[in-house]
Amino acid sequence: MPSANVRGAQPSAERRLSTLVRHLLPSSARTAAAATTTSAADFLEAFPTMASSSVFAGLAQAPEDPILGVTVAYNKDPSPVKLNLGVGAYRTEEGKPLVLNVVRRAEQMLINNPSRVKEYLPITGLAEFNKLSAKLIFGADSPAIQENRVATVQCLSGTGSLRVGGEFLARHYHERTIYIPLPTWGNHPKVFTLAGLTVRSYRYYDPATRGLDFQGLLEDLSSAPSGAIVLLHACAHNPTGVDPTLDQWEQIRQLMRSKSLLPFFDSAYQGFATGSLDKDAQSVRMFVADGGELLMAQSYAKNMGLYGERVGALSIVCGSADVAVRVESQLKLVIRPMYSNPPIHGASIVATILKDSNMFNEWTVELKGMADRIISMRQQLFDALKTRGTPGDWSHIIKQIGMFTFTGLNSDQVAFMRQEYHIYMTSDGRISMAGLSTRTIPHLADAIHAAVTKLK
C-alpha cells in the first residue's frame, strides 16, 4: 500500500486499524471489543465504511495560511466590535467590500455582448490585455515596448505572475538565488522556493526608525553574487509601507546594474499608493529607461478591485526583440502544464476599461478616491494616538505608504489586541489601513494605546 511520506515510523495496517478502533468506538464498545479480541476483519464488518485504512494516515494537518487565516479567525468571532485588519482588501468607509463602478459597467458591457464567447484563451492570455498592461506599467512611450523587447503573459494575479516568472528563471537563468527584502509578503518565499529558486534576504526594514535600512540594503545587495535575482516592491512595500525615495531608487539601480543583479519587480499597488498611476511606476520605469532587463509581476487585485478574478501579468523586459520572442515561447511551456491558459473574465474587464479613454479616466478617479481615503485613515489614526498621548513615535503611520502600516507592535501586543479588543491583524503587527473607517479608528486607537501601555 502506498503510504504517505511523513517523518516518523509507518505503523502497520493492523496497528492503524486498532488505533482507529480505540479512537472511534464509544468506551463501552471498546471494552467489549477488547474483551472479545476484535480482529481487523471483525472491525471491518462492523464498520464497512472503514473498508481500508487510509494511505494518508500519516499526513499531518497543515496550519492555516498565516495571512488568510486571520480572516478565518475573524469570521468565527461573534463580537460586534470586531475589526478585520488582516487581508489587504479595500473596504469603504462603511466597512464594505467595493466593486468599482467602472468595473460593473465593463462587466455589464461584456455580459450583454451577444458575440462574446468563452473559447480558450491562448496560453499567453488575452493579447489586448497583455499589451495594455505593459503600457500601463512601463508607459505607453516606453522604449522597451516600442522596440518589441517586452514579453508579456497574462497570469493569475500577482501570485501567478511571480510563480511563472520564478519557474522560468529556475529553468533558464544561470543564477538560482533570489534576494527578497526583510520583511516581505509572507507568500513570497514559498512561491519562489516551490518555483525552484533559493531564497535569501536583504536588509530592508529598520525597526529602530520604522523606516528603510538603506545602508543595510546597499551592503547586502553589494555582497550578492553577480547576476543574482533581486525582488523589489515597485511601490507601497508590503508589509512595511516603507518605500525608497527616488534618489535611493537611483542608487539601487546603479548598484544593481553594476553587479548585473536581475531586478524582479512586484507591482501590486500601481495607482493605489499615491493615487497616481505614473508616480507609482517611477521606480520600474527608471530601470527600464537604462535599457537593462527585468521581470515585472503586475496585479489588478487592488487597483481595480478585481481580487477574486485573479488578474495579473508577467512582463519580461529583454535585451532584444528576438530574445523576447524566445522568452515568450518558453513562458508558454511553464504555463501549459500548470493550468493550460488563464481565466478570461477579469482580463476582459481590464482590457475593456484600459482601452476606452472615458472608462480609463473614470477608473483613475475611483482609484484616487480609494488611495485618498487610505491616506486620510493614516492621518486620522495618527491624530487619534496623539490625542490619547499614546507613548512612542507614531509618525511612521503617516510616513509609510499604501495599504499597510507596519505598526511596530510585537506579537504579544497583537495577541492582546485580538483577545481584548477583537482586532485582527497578522502577527507581525501589520494592519490594513483599507479595513479602517472614521467610525472604527477610535476603537483601534484605544486598543493600540492599551497594548502599548500594558505590555512591552
Partner 1 sequence: MASAAFTVSSPAASAVAARSKVLRGGKGEARTGCRVGITRKNFSRVMMAVAVDISRFEGVPMAPPDPILGVSEAFRADKNDLKLNLGVGAYRTEELQPYVLNVVKKAENLMLEKGENKEYLPIEGLAAFNKATAELLFGADNPVIKQGRVATLQSLSGTGSLRLAAAFIQRYFPEAKVLISSPTWGNHKNIFNDARVPWSEYRYYDPKTVGLDFEGMIADIQAAPDGSFVLLHGCAHNPTGIDPTPEQWEKIADVIQEKKHMPFFDVAYQGFASGSLDEDASSVRLFVERGLEVFVAQSYSKNLGLYAERIGAINVVCSAPEVANRVKSQLKRLARPMYSNPPIHGARIVANVVGDPAMFGEWKQEMEEMAGRIKNVRQKLYDSLSAKDKSGKDWSFILRQIGMFSYTGLNKTQSDNMTDKWHIYMTKDGRISLAGLSLAKCEYLADAIIDSFHNVS
> Catalytic residue numbers?
185, 266, 302
* Segment near partner 1 (CB under 8 A); pick from 340-348, 372-380, 425-433, 434-442: 340-348
Q: Which of residues 158-217 bind partner 1 (CB under 8 A)?
A: 159-160, 163, 172-174, 187, 190-191, 193-194
If one asks whether residue 346 binds partner 1 (CB under 8 A), the answer comes out as yes
Q: In this complex, which beta carbon is closest to partner 1, that of residue 319 or of residue 392?
A: 319
> Which amino acid makes up residue 91?
R
Q: In this complex, which beta carbon is closest to partner 1, that of residue 249 or of residue 421?
A: 249
If one asks whether residue 14 binds partner 1 (CB under 8 A), the answer comes out as no
Choose which of 213, 243, 280, 309 interacts with partner 1 (CB under 8 A): 309
> Beta-strand (E) ranges in 98-227?
150-155, 177-182, 198-203, 205-206, 211-212
If one asks whether residue 76 binds partner 1 (CB under 8 A), the answer comes out as no
Q: Could you tell me if 388 and 445 are in contact, meaning their C-beta atoms sit under 8 angstroms apart? A: yes
Quote the least distance from Cβ 446 to partner 1, whole Å.
28
If one asks whether residue 255 binds partner 1 (CB under 8 A), the answer comes out as no
Q: In this complex, which beta carbon is closest to partner 1, that of residue 146 or of residue 361?
A: 146
Residue with cell 520604522: 210
Choose which of 95, 207, 225, 291 interacts with partner 1 (CB under 8 A): 291
> Rounded to whole angstroms, how far apart are CA atoms 150 and 326?
11
Q: Which of residues 225-254 bind partner 1 (CB under 8 A)?
A: 226-227, 250, 254
Q: Which of residues 354-413 bind partner 1 (CB under 8 A)?
A: none
Q: In this complex, which beta carbon is closest to partner 1, that of residue 341 or of residue 427?
A: 341
- Total residues contacting partner 1 (rule CB under 8 A)? 112
If one asks whether residue 32 binds partner 1 (CB under 8 A), the answer comes out as no
* Segment near partner 1 (CB under 8 A); pick from 202-210, 235-243, 276-284, 442-450: 276-284
Q: In this complex, which beta carbon is closest to partner 1, that of residue 254 or of residue 387?
A: 254
If one asks whether residue 443 binds partner 1 (CB under 8 A), the answer comes out as no
Q: In this complex, which beta carbon is closest to partner 1, that of residue 29 or of residue 392?
A: 29
If one asks whether residue 29 binds partner 1 (CB under 8 A), the answer comes out as no
- Which grid coordinates are listed for 312? 495579473
* Segment near partner 1 (CB under 8 A); pick from 43-51, 398-406, 428-436, 446-454: 43-51
> Rounded to whole angstroms, how far apart are CA atoms 384 and 441?
8
* Segment near partner 1 (CB under 8 A); pick from 232-240, 275-283, 396-404, 432-440: 275-283
Choose which of 28, 36, 61, 419 interacts with partner 1 (CB under 8 A): 61
If one asks whether residue 11 binds partner 1 (CB under 8 A), the answer comes out as no
Q: Residues of 359-379 as b/e, b for ≥16 C-beta within 10 angstroms?
A: beebbbebbbebbebbbebbe
Whether residue 183 has a cis bond before it, omega within 30° of 0: yes
Q: In this complex, which beta carbon is closest to partner 1, that of residue 344 or of residue 397?
A: 344
Choose which of 242, 327, 384, 385 interacts with partner 1 (CB under 8 A): 327
Whether residue 239 has a cis bond before it, omega within 30° of 0: yes
* Segment near partner 1 (CB under 8 A); pick from 54-62, 201-209, 391-399, 431-439: 54-62
- CA-nearest of 229, 348, 340, 341 to 293 is 229
> Beta-strand (E) ranges in 268-425?
294-299, 312-317, 404-406, 423-424
Q: Could you tell me if 306 and 300 are in contact, meaning their C-beta atoms sit under 8 angstroms apart? A: yes
> Rounded to whole angstroms, how far apart are CA atoms 300 and 234?
14
Residue with cell 494575479: 157
* Segment near partner 1 (CB under 8 A); pick from 136-144, 356-364, 365-373, 433-441: 136-144
Choose which of 285, 368, 388, 449 interacts with partner 1 (CB under 8 A): 285
Choose which of 9, 41, 62, 208 interacts with partner 1 (CB under 8 A): 62
What lies within 8 Å, CB to CB, of 375 at 6+ separation is 275
* DSSP letter (8 states) at residue 269: -
Q: Could you tell me if 416 and 446 are in contact, meaning their C-beta atoms sit under 8 angstroms apart? A: no
> Rounded to whole angstroms, how far apart are CA atoms 241 and 296?
19
| Residue 85-124 contact track with partner 1, rule CB under 8 A, x = bound | --x-x-------xxx---xx--xx--x----xxxxxxxx-
Q: In this complex, which beta carbon is closest to partner 1, that of residue 39 or of residue 209?
A: 39
**Cα–Cα separations (whole angstroms), residue 17 to 32, 40, 47, 206, 209:** 17, 7, 11, 54, 58
Q: Could you tell me if 196 and 354 are in contact, meaning their C-beta atoms sit under 8 angstroms apart? A: no
> Beta-strand (E) ranges in 268-366?
294-299, 312-317
